[in-house]
Chains A and B, each alone.
Chain A
Amino acid sequence: MSVASMSMWCRASCRASSLSLLVGGSTGPLLGGIHNNALVRTLSSSSASAAATPAAAAAVAPEEPPPVEVFVNGESVQVPKGVSVMQACDAAGVDVPRFCYHQRLSIAGNCRMCLVEVTKSPKPVASCAMPIMPGMQIHTETPLVKKAREGVMEFLLANHPLDCPICDQGGECDLQDMSMAYGSDRGRFVEEKRAVEDKNLGPLVKTVMTRCIHCTRCVRFATEVAGVHDLGVTGRGGSAEIGTYLEKALTSEMSGNVIDLCPVGALTSKPYAFTARSWELRPTESVDATDGIGASIRVDARGHEVMRIVPRLNESVNEEWIGDRGRFSYDGLRRQRLDAPYVRGEKGAPLRKATWKDALEAAAHGLRSTPSTKLMAVAGKLADAESICALKDLMAMYDGQNLQVEGVTPSSDAADVRSSYVFNSTLERIEEADAILLVGTDLRKEAPLLNSRLRRSAVYDCVPVASVGPDVDLTYPKKDLGDSAKAIDDLLSGASAFRAVLDGASKPAIIVGAHVLSRPDAYGVLSKCVQLANDVGCVSGDWNGYNVLHECAGRVAALDLGFVPGPKADVATAPGFVYLMNADDEATLASIPEDAFVVYQGHHGDAGAARANVVLPGAAYTEKGATYVNTEGRVQRTKRAVPPPGSAREDWEVVRALSEVAGLALPYDDVDGLRVRMAEVSPTFASVDSVQQSTIWLNGSTYAASKGSSKASTAPFTSSISNYFQADVIGRSSKTMARCVETRGEMYAKTHDVGSTLGELGEPSAHPLGD
């Protein structure tokens, strides 16, 4: 909802809307720092539950203080008690210029651009930092306000370089825009301009510090949201500088967001530098497929190339942030691409370029000539729902029942009950949890956006967090309970002190990392986690705090579609024909016998294509309109921003073509038909952009009935991602991501005094097909 339409609605029905006023639009928190965030959290959580059940709304309503009437430029507007003057102006649909104020950060009040006049106040006031009073008369259009803002603008421009023509922010710069409204056509400043040395913040963020206007948004973001204390202000007055004190790269996995926050061109994207102007770009609203969160993104393309990726606002998923892999790995979309089909003549021969006809015939021959018991298909981490559904139907026609999802120990029960494999509490409502247990996960690498939500809970609401798993710095205090299943046993038996915390919580949450699903003893560990969830009351009423966090975009869709071994599948039988759909994991490839005929479908020449006998080129997530399901079970659809390279095709079309060449054509000819079929397999696919809650919980009877072993080994829990930047084929093909790995390695070597420059993240992956 836009601010303008929201304010209309607001004035019409003030009481009902006063909650959503803070939550829905660009208006945000107010009174600074901790209280600020806590207030927004309270409001957004209560509005979420209000939307869920009318009963909850009734319960919340009495706590809500009555709205306050203020007058903006003579017009009456009703706003919640305690909001700032700026928010009141926003609610009234009056635009107040700002540089330092940001609705998700604490209030600094240092840019002075938002000055407005308030009746009875002798001086103009900074509207972002001034709380409203009942009956306040606010004026934003008076000559005094205009003069004050022009004065502020003149001081800002006095020391700002006139390099807009070569500045990457040009065209989308707040300072540029506001100088049109408040700037002077001539300068009175004749002294020498101030100049500041540029800082090296690593391979992602480029700095031109002379352009900095000291709004401190980046400092506040790093400290408050990302939780890394890398940035700060040194010096006073004219010698104030933003920097890292000692030269170092930003250590956050969401550092790229400071680029969006910077209102001027001081912090810009290093990989994007000088590659395009903002007005040349063609925006496409899409969804990030590089992790399990499924952040809303905008893909900016020029011609056939993706030039940059920036986040879109989506309160229920990514707020307005994205992780660095999602933002910067796009250069990997141009390298190592499979742009034509390949066929390997005989064993040991190299892959040779082939026509689609030859490649499909070779694949179809492999499929037809293999007995059904030896057919196997793997849905990989980047596979989209359409192609998974088509592949499942294709395998069903040939009675191939050995279907596996990459990163999940094969089991016919893995996909039975949806609540056993999705993030049930949803990303937004996880902030309602009042005690959180992490099992086998490193949230910073697997889901930095979720980690920043948990950081908000842990730091601002003092929610206790404990972890059974790798001992890593999550940027907030957490209790380490151990790194093996024994710690879960201790929680079950009550021997662990954290059990009392979980028992005492009204909304406890357990977050199980994807690493657990891939363990050979997944069943044992999962059944213990479910048992614990039942014992501490994770599932009660409309709260389900049992959450499985997937680190990749393809898995939930594969499980939703039931891509699991059927009753006749014998996982122990060596497969003779393997269909790899975007599957490149070492573990997957290691399980394929030497003499198996492998068809690889995907977009990058990585490990999977190197092993394949037939390579079918598909499209990456920026090149197709495909469905992905995030870790919550939210069905989302990407849009095609650029065409796939060469003769590559959208993935489901490849499977459909193969089915026809093989002799049994799949019964859908267009993507709409396929989507109807997907909704038939799982009705959750019928509603895009929403989460279908799974209310059937079954108390872990999957595990009780299963023949799988319920024993858990003592092997330590790790993270499913060892190297954040190169967790998928796109990241592994990206130069920017390789530079990040290198920089982190050097930083690790400096602080740990070790010889290896790549200590923390390991060696960068070598490309099996070379460069």
Chain B
Amino acid sequence: MASKLALNAAVSELRFVLCQSSPSSAGTREFVSKSYEAIKKANPRLPVLIREAAGAEPSLFVRTAPQGVEKRLSLANLNAADVKKALESLAK
């Protein structure tokens, strides 16, 4: 599991944005709660920021070096497995 979540070395920041309660954030919440430790273990020095705010659209932001370009992907209504796929598509 852990090795699968090793991300591209150019990734300099991961950000998960989600709502505390909305159903569209449920998958993201589940993924973050379950896989945070695995992501962190596979990428020990990568900041993995988890930010919650009421009504926020669940999204994933990936910033890559060297220009600091940010890519965003909406995670609305995705389940945990799809969130993982989204992460891999953006950050592998």
Contact = CB atoms under 8 A, between A and B. Distances in A.
Nearest to B11: A567
Contact of A412 (B47, B52, B54): B47
A399 interface: yes
Contact of B47 (A393, A413, A560, A683): A413
A565 B45 CA distance: 8
B73 interface: no
A684 B12 contact: no
A398 to B, nearest CB: 8
A188 interface: no
A401 interface: yes
Interface string B46-84: 111111111010000101011110001000000000000
A204 B76 CA distance: 55
Interface string B17-40: 100100000000100110011001
A399 B36 contact: no
A399 B68 contact: yes
Interface stretch (A21-29, A319-327, A704-712): A704-712
Contacts of B46: 412, 566-567
A290 interface: no
A698 B38 CA distance: 12
Contacts of B29: 696
Contacts of A401: 12, 65
B13 A566 contact: yes
Contact of A696 (B44, B50, B56): B50
Given A396-B63, A415-B49, A567-B46, A698 B13 contact: no
B74 to A, nearest CB: 13
Contacts of A686: 53, 56
B17 A683 contact: yes
Q: Is the interface of B mostly helix, strand, loop or mixed?
A: mixed
Contacts, number: 112
Interface stretch (A33-41, A84-92, A134-142, A687-695): A687-695
Contacts of B47: 412-413, 415-416, 562, 564-567
B44 A684 contact: no
Interface string A667-682: 0000000000000111
B41 interface: yes
A418 interface: yes
A47 interface: no
A417 interface: yes
A401 B65 CA distance: 9
Contact of A701 (B36, B44, B63, B65): B36
Contacts of A251: none
Contact of B37 (A399, A569, A683, A704): A704
Contact of B40 (A413, A418, A560, A569): A413
A682 B49 CA distance: 9
Contact of B53 (A399, A564, A692): A692
Contacts of B65: 399, 401, 566, 568
A683 B49 contact: no
Given A396-B63, A687-B53, A562 B13 contact: yes
Contacts of A372: 66
Contact of B52 (A567, A692, A706): A692
A418 B47 CA distance: 12
A396 B17 CA distance: 20
Given A567-B12, A683-B51, A397 B41 contact: no
A564 B13 CA distance: 10
Contacts of A680: 61, 72
A692 B67 contact: no
A702 interface: yes
A684 B68 CA distance: 22
A396 B11 CA distance: 12
B53 A705 contact: no
Contacts of B56: 683, 686
Contacts of A393: 68
B68 A396 contact: yes
Contacts of A681: 15, 51, 61
A696 B32 contact: yes
B33 A698 contact: yes
B52 A416 contact: no
B68 to A, nearest CB: 3
A559 B54 CA distance: 19
A695 B20 contact: yes
A560 B40 CA distance: 18
B52 A696 contact: yes
Contacts of A707: 44-45
Given A401-B65, A692-B53, A706 B12 contact: no
Nearest to A566: B12
Nearest to A561: B49
B43 to A, nearest CB: 7
A569 B47 CA distance: 11
Interface of A: 372, 393, 395-397, 399, 401, 412-413, 415-418, 560, 562, 564-569, 680-684, 686-687, 692-696, 698, 701-702, 704-707
Given A684-B53, A698-B37, 8 more contacts: A415-B49, A416-B49, A567-B9, A680-B72, A696-B32, A696-B50, A701-B36, A706-B40
Interface of B: 9, 11-13, 15, 17, 20, 29, 32-33, 36-37, 40-41, 43-54, 56, 61, 63, 65-68, 72
21 contacts: A396-B12, A396-B67, A397-B68, A399-B67, A401-B65, A418-B50, A566-B12, A566-B45, A567-B47, A569-B45, A680-B72, A681-B51, A683-B51, A683-B56, A684-B51, A692-B20, A696-B33, A696-B50, A701-B40, A705-B36, A706-B40
Q: List 6 tightest A-B contacts by C-beta distance, closest first.
A: A396-B68, A683-B53, A705-B40, A683-B56, A399-B66, A701-B37
